[in-house]
Chain A
Amino acid sequence: MRDTYLIAMNELRVTMRNPFWSVSGLFQPIIYLLLFGPLLNGVAGARGFPDGNAIQFFAPGLLVMNALFGAGFEGFTLRDKLDSGFLERLRVTPISRLALALGFILQSSVNLVIQSIALIACSFFFGLQLHILGAAALIPLVVLIGISMASVSYRLALVIREGGILAGIINTFVLPAMILSGIMLPVTFGPRIIQIAARFDPFFYAVNASRALINGAFADGSVVAAFAIFAALAVVTLAIFIRGMREAVA
């Protein structure tokens, strides 16, 4: 446990040292908020667009998107650690592989929580009306998404040495998952086939849950579904990552 904490603290300190990294992590969602959010105002009245203004629709999805991309590309951090020999150096110490894996996950989760709070605060200034308890309940969901994405990304980074290939593989999964989730535009705008495909995208439920929670609609069906799906995904992917860490000889 102490080892997990030590690794996570070290990683966080390193992240904080490099201000560009923490800022660049938030850069993308803030650009969306600034430039894409206003575009949505034009379609807010369209048929099939949920009630409420554009920011109410877009900001909650942005939190999910930040987890999807931010944690999804965490693998690159691990790739750097492998290339610099830092991970190898840790692997000859008595620290357990479990603690090592959890340390990285903890680091990415803490990072994500800080970013999410910053994003909620930003959105608030853009006019987001938020239900405080709902927003608080949204954080654990974001963390579960983050754990799932980071675990997959880390696991891939253990076996894929080439950064470009790693990016390609991650993008192949992340982009369709994002578009089908209805973060940018409601999937109800699309043909039936898109709407059906969205049902198979776990992020579709996460985005809906996120919108429900920000309005305090705890009873919404998507909330239970999203928590159940991502709790299960987090457990499975984390187990896969830990297994990989035990076997890794990179």
Chain B
Amino acid sequence: MAPIILTEKLSKTFARGKADAVEAVRAIDLEVDAGEIFGLLGPNGAGKSTTMRMLCTLLLPSAGRATVTGFDLATEAHEIRRRIGYVGQKGGLEQVATGRENLMLHAQLYRMSRSEARRRIDLLAERLRLGAFIDRKAETYSGGQRRVLDLASGVINAPELLFLDEPTTGLDPQSRARVWEEVKTVHEQGTTIFLTTHYLEEADALCDRVAIVDLGRVVALGTPAELKKQIAGDIVTLGYDDERQAGAAAALLDGNPLVLERHRAGTMLQIHVDRGDEALPALLRVVGQGNYPAKSVHLSRPSLDDVFLKLTGRSLRETDPMAC
């Protein structure tokens, strides 16, 4: 079966003035199969949203080509629009209209008759559990309710492929879990899902495959498990008061046989080891004797953040303004 999204050297350069052009997306090749939940994971400004906006027909690519749902992005945008759904970061609900009215407008824009639209809305209300708030004005919704209604509006036309741009950014953990559940519901109905996120847990919890993007390029691609396997063993994280101390401690560990790899991210020192439980006491002894005892210690299994750090030398969390 042909992939539902296929891109070849897809690129976008924004001309900001004459002199400095911003290369937001640099020759990305992607292949997404029908039925997947595919995630683009990366920090803000990595080019995730730009990539998605090109695939949704909202932005014209500067170079490269792509097919979406089997149609050419450059020449058959109209066909693509009939087959996809899109939920942007801002959602796009009419605030003073009720959820039902919002859905009705979009259903009718997809050429549904009023009675067809009514049936579709009732079905979605039941499936996505919109009953409690669908007849209230959107301006009264909580963040989570708003996102679920956005989601319903994105699938009003029963799309083959649904795009979700940062579906849970800014939500509290409870609302996030709710949105994840409804995304899974949509997926179970046979919709392929393409999402962007800068939350590792989200990529981990939802995605069948993840492409890690940084500075407009795909730096790694695979299932979350495959990506994490790139990092052997366990990770010991030592925390320090300042970067100088963390750097000095890192130097103390140079050539230590226990250390497979190490990275410093700000005041944190990450050390990859084979067996964390055995290595931890030895490592603490080394930095302690060198007069740089760690202020905090953390032992963990590798996460996607560690993969990102290993690939780019930067932490995802560092670049996430929400974490500050």
Enumerate chain A interface residues (CB-CB to B < 8 A).
2-3, 6, 10, 13-14, 17-18, 83-95, 249
Contacts and interface: CB of A to CB of B under 8 A. Distances in A.
27 contacts: A2-B108, A3-B109, A6-B108, A6-B109, A13-B97, A13-B101, A84-B91, A84-B92, A84-B95, A85-B89, A85-B92, A86-B94, A88-B58, A88-B90, A88-B92, A89-B86, A89-B92, A89-B106, A92-B56, A92-B84, A93-B81, A93-B106, A93-B157, A94-B78, A94-B82, A94-B110, A249-B59
A84 B139 CA distance: 12
A92 B109 contact: no
Contacts of B293: none
Give me the 8 closest cross-chain CB pairs, A-B, nearest first. A85-B90, A89-B92, A85-B92, A92-B86, A17-B96, A86-B92, A93-B109, A94-B81
Contact of B81 (A2, A18, A92): A92
Given A92-B86, A94-B81, A10 B97 contact: yes
B57 interface: yes
B60 A85 contact: no
A17 B97 contact: yes
B229 to A, nearest CB: 37
Residues of A contacting B: mostly: helix
Contacts of A89: 86, 88, 91-93, 106, 153
A83 to B, nearest CB: 8
Q: Which of B89, B91, B109 has the most CB of A within 10 A?
A: B109
B109 A90 contact: yes
Contacts of B96: 14, 17-18
A91 B101 CA distance: 18
B80 to A, nearest CB: 9
A206 B64 CA distance: 51
Nearest to A15: B96
A211 B294 CA distance: 85
Nearest to B14: A249
A84 B111 CA distance: 24
